[in-house]
Structure 1
Amino acid sequence: MAYLDNVAVFVRVVELGNLSAAGRDMRISPAVASNRIKELEKHLGVRLFNRTTRQLMPTEQGRVFYDGARKVLEAVADAEAAVSALSGQPRGTIRVTAPLGLGRRMIASGIPEFRARYPDIEVRLRLSDHEVDIMKEGIDVAFRLGLLEDSSLRMRGVMDCERVLVAAPRYLEEHGEPETPEDLLKHDCLMLRYPGAREHFWTLQTPSGPRKLDVRGPYDSDDGDVLTGWAIAGHGIVLKPRFEVEPFIRDLRLKVILPDVPPQPVQLAAVYPHRQYQDTKVRLLLDFMADRCQRMIRDILAGR
């Protein structure tokens, strides 16, 4: 196993670009990661990286070895998944990512209950409104609100989620309430933006078809909960999944605007790498979290 451990460290260093990031991901120190790379290089008799002050770049031999090493690790993962399915004793680590709002409210709060059911499974959770590259980051399951576009990934749909445009009554009193989609172009719109973000427009469902609007505003953030806070404080209009803002709509801190031409809904889905065998522990987590999210969203929308 020591050799496979060294190979696994090498693969993560290539994917993350430096020893510190790989060490954090694998819960080992940079010194240990460095020693494992040196052992691997000694075993192979080649230099695997060109070292700079900030980054490790794979040599030609390193790139060739990476392609084969990744296939070996995937084959081992498939073999372990097959054995786990037969043994009926799921164990190991699952790396999970989710958007901040959904992750905080539904995924993170459910992990202790999942661990109580399956104490031999460890869950490492990463929350971000950035779209995480699950192959590069070594993620096993990513919960997303949107549409699956990467055909190299598998998807399990959880449920369709209504979205709404909302603003604080205070903001609407000061700036007027939009009556048409085009009115949004004159308002302060709170945008979810980060490098690589796909949704730069708001698309509304109108009787004549989808209407794409290049809305603008003085505020943007890469954290959806920050945008909700700004909206409640009266700083503009925000587009959100209804379940995230329903409590604030009920207590009148936010008001739905343009209800007859709502934003396009999104799908809550779980995406994960395509493998020959679906790991039992991953399937168990998907089943648990899908049921939990469905129940919690329905309860929120029903005011329970």
Structure 2
Amino acid sequence: MSYVNNLRMFVRVHELGSMSAAARDQRTSPAVASSRIAELEKHLGVRLFNRTTRSLHATESGRIFYDGALKVLEAIEAAEAAVVDATRNPRGTIFVAAPLGLGRRLIAPAVPAFKDAYPDIDVRLRLSDRGIDVIGEGLDLAFHLGRLEDSALKVRQIADCPRVLCAAPAYLARRGTPRDGEALLAEGHDCLNLRFPGAREFQWHLQTPEGVKRYSISGPFESDDGDVLTGWALDGRGIILKPMFEVADHLRSGALVPVATATPPLPVSLSLLTPHRRLRDPKIRLFSDFVATRCRSAIQTEGTP
């Protein structure tokens, strides 16, 4: 398998343009990655990459070899996948990422149930509201809430999640209940902002009789952790924009109350992102299908405010 491993490393170095990034993707060290490329070059008798201290580029031989190496690896993966499917005993480890609120409420509860159904598959779950580099961080798949920029990843749409603007009764008793987006701004309401590099939630897109309108909101509090915002809202500090599944329990109990109901927010799209070739792995496909089904069911159950 050493030659196959060398091929895998070569393909990832070529695709990522970095020895260290390929090493992370293959969960090994840069030294091992460099050694595997060197072995492959020695075997072929050609240089596959031109290296400097700051850059790495494939040679003409490297570009030619990449196409053939990719076909070999895809054939091997297809054969291995067929064997796993035939035995119906997938095994291994899956590396998964998700936003905090989604991960805690929908993804994390599904992991033990998946493990019960497939005891030979382990799941490593990472939760963060910050942007994640799926390829660079060696992830098998990542759940994403919101609009997607152009991506080289495979995108699987799971569901549209209804959202709600809401606040605690204590805040509304003190500041009043805005009827719509215009009142939200005119009355100077405190909006709790999810903000970090690349975030867009400081602009709320609400549905009005004239169509979708963008409202630039502001407030005294902001965080890069969505659950922190929910805690502040429960404490009467302001108004939050949240997917229904994150605050449904609080709405049912009355701890939070919908506001600006005449101009409800647009739903947010829940997607699953994977490197193109990862979905051919049966264990990843099984996990994707399993969790996607549970997510859709949970989102549909919560309904609308």
Where on the TM-score scale, by shorter chain, does this alignment land: which range? 0.7 to 0.9
Question: Once structures 1 and 2 are overlaid, which stretch shifts more, 143-152 or 283-292?
Answer: 143-152
Q: Is the 8 A contact 1:85 1:279 kept in 2?
A: no
Could you tell me which of 167, 186, 189 is aligned with 1:187?
Answer: 189
Shift of 1:241: 0.3
Give the letter aligned to residue 198 of structure 2.
Answer: G
Matched, 1:230 2:228: no
Give the letter aligned to residue 167 of structure 1.
Answer: A
Which sections of structure 2, spanning at least 5 residues, go unmatched?
A: none
Give the letter aligned to residue 189 of structure 1.
Answer: C
Matched, 1:163 2:163: yes
Question: Once structures 1 and 2 are overlaid, which stretch shifts more, 280-289 or 202-211?
Answer: 280-289
Distance in structure 1 (CA, Å) of the matches to 2:105 and 2:230: 14
Q: Which position in structure 1 is the counterpart of 2:5? A: 5
Shift of 1:289: 0.9
Shift of 1:242: 1.0
Shift of 1:70: 5.8
Distance in structure 2 (CA, Å) of the matches to 1:159 and 1:277: 19
Q: Is the 8 A contact 1:162 1:266 kept in 2?
A: yes
Shift of 1:102: 1.1
Deviations 1:153-199 (A, max 9, x none): 55444333210011223333343332331233333322222323355
What is the SS of the residue equivalent to 1:225?
helix
Question: Once structures 1 and 2 are overlaid, which stretch shifts more, 2-11 or 198-207?
Answer: 2-11
Shift of 1:17: 4.9
Q: Which position in structure 1 is the counterpart of 2:111? A: 111
Q: Which position in structure 2 is the counterpart of 1:94? A: 94
What is the SS of the residue equivalent to 1:253?
coil
Q: Is the 8 A contact 2:17 2:56 kept in 1?
A: no
Distance in structure 2 (CA, Å) of the matches to 1:271 and 1:216: 31
Q: Is the 8 A contact 2:17 2:57 kept in 1?
A: no
What is the SS of the residue equivalent to 1:250?
helix
Give the letter aligned to residue 125 of structure 2.
Answer: L
What is the SS of the residue equivalent to 1:103?
helix
Q: Is the 8 A contact 2:161 2:269 kept in 1?
A: yes
Shift of 1:232: 2.0
1:34-183 to structure 2, matched below 5 A, reads 35-40=35-40, 42-43=42-43, 46=47, 48=49, 50=51, 52=53, 57-61=55-59, 64=63, 68=67, 73-74=73-74, 76-147=76-147, 150=150, 153-183=153-183
Q: Which position in structure 1 is the counterpart of 2:198? A: 196
- CA pair 6-231 structure 1, distance change in 2 beyond 3 A: farther
Matched, 1:286 2:288: yes
- CA pair 167-37 structure 1, distance change in 2 beyond 3 A: farther
Could you tell me which of 190, 204, 208 is aligned with 2:210?
Answer: 208
Q: Is the 8 A contact 1:11 1:66 kept in 2?
A: no
Deviations 1:96-139 (A, max 9, x none): 22221111222123222212322332333232323434344454
Question: Once structures 1 and 2 are overlaid, which stretch shifts more, 253-262 or 276-285?
Answer: 276-285
- CA pair 9-171 structure 1, distance change in 2 beyond 3 A: farther
Q: Which position in structure 2 is the counterpart of 1:268? A: 270
- CA pair 51-263 structure 1, distance change in 2 beyond 3 A: same
Shift of 1:35: 4.2
Shift of 1:26: 4.0
- In the alignment of these two chains, the number of paired residues is 298
Deviations 1:227-270 (A, max 9, x none): 21222233322110011012222333322111221101123333
TM-score relative to the length of structure 1: 0.78
Distance in structure 2 (CA, Å) of the matches to 1:75 and 1:130: 36
Q: Is the 8 A contact 2:205 2:266 kept in 1?
A: yes
Q: Is the 8 A contact 1:41 1:48 kept in 2?
A: no
Q: Is the 8 A contact 1:231 1:238 kept in 2?
A: yes
Distance in structure 2 (CA, Å) of the matches to 1:85 and 1:146: 33
What is the RMSD computed on CA atoms of the aligned residues? 3.6
Distance in structure 2 (CA, Å) of the matches to 1:271 and 1:129: 15
Identity percentage over the alignment?
52
- CA pair 252-123 structure 1, distance change in 2 beyond 3 A: same
Distance in structure 2 (CA, Å) of the matches to 1:292 and 1:136: 28
What is the SS of the residue equivalent to 1:236?
coil
